[in-house]
Amino acid sequence: MEPLKIRRVGVDELGLYAEVPESFMCESVFRVEPIDGGLRGFAFNEENVEPHIKWDEQDEKDGSKGWPRKYKLEDWGIFIAFRGSTPVGGIAIGADAPGGLRSPFEPGDTAVVWDIRVRPEERRHGVASALFWRGVEWARGEGHRRLKLEVTSANVPMCRFCVKTGCELAAVHRLGYETTKSPDEAMLIWYYELRPTEADPT
């Protein structure tokens, strides 16, 4: 297997980024249930479901190729992982004004992991971790204090990835996708605090 190489790309290379599928196989979901009306937190019960392919509904029309029409990409950190000349993974981290990528209640030094994807055959080979830590390095260098990740409760592998990398679950919005095609899923908001480099897990 060829070594993994990660480099930052510009808008002109979003076509390469789009070569990596954003879909994932959903085999189980977290059913999020409040305990004592939510006063004692929430229970996360993993439930097996009929395996099916899911993708990011917010970008389902034209995917990452449509980002330039929607977002100010000049301030984003977009990275692609390659094996040889083949793109095998990508991460996009953005910073935007309140009401855009982040909520109006979040400080301006919060960056958002808008997208992270890995080719199915490359999963469980450390590609996502390598991309995440490269993104952490970039965000820290840009002066950001925190990374935010929004994950659906139907993406169990990504939730486990967040825990593995040291992210903390900060908010649970059980009705966060009520107006989408997936009204039964919960919106989970995770944060990674950008501590000094030596404090990052390995």
CATH of the domain at 45: 3.40.630.30
Question: Residue 4: pLDDT band by 50, 70, 90 thresholds?
Answer: very high
With a CB cutoff of 8 Å and minimum separation 6, the contacts of 62 are none
- Amino acid identity for residue 108 in this structure: G
Of 39-43, 63-67, 98-102, which range is least confident?
A: 98-102
Residue 191 near residue 170, CB atoms below 8 Å: yes
Mean pLDDT of the chain: 90
Number of structural domains in the chain: 1
> Which whole number is the average pLDDT over 39-49?
96
Token pair for residue 44? 């996360």
Range of the domain at 189: 4-199
pLDDT value at residue 75: 87
pLDDT value at residue 65: 83
- The model's pTM is 0.90
pLDDT in tens, 58-95: 555 567 888 888 888 888 999 999 999 999 999 999 97
pLDDT value at residue 74: 87
Of 54-68, 107-121, 169-183, which range is least confident?
A: 54-68
Residue bearing the bigger pLDDT, 56 or 155: 155
The most confident of 19-23, 152-156, 192-196, by mean pLDDT: 152-156
Pairing label, strands 24-34, 42-54: antiparallel
pLDDT in tens, 128-140: 999 999 999 999 9
Residue 72 CA: distances (Å) to CA of 117, 129, 153, 156 = 20, 26, 28, 30
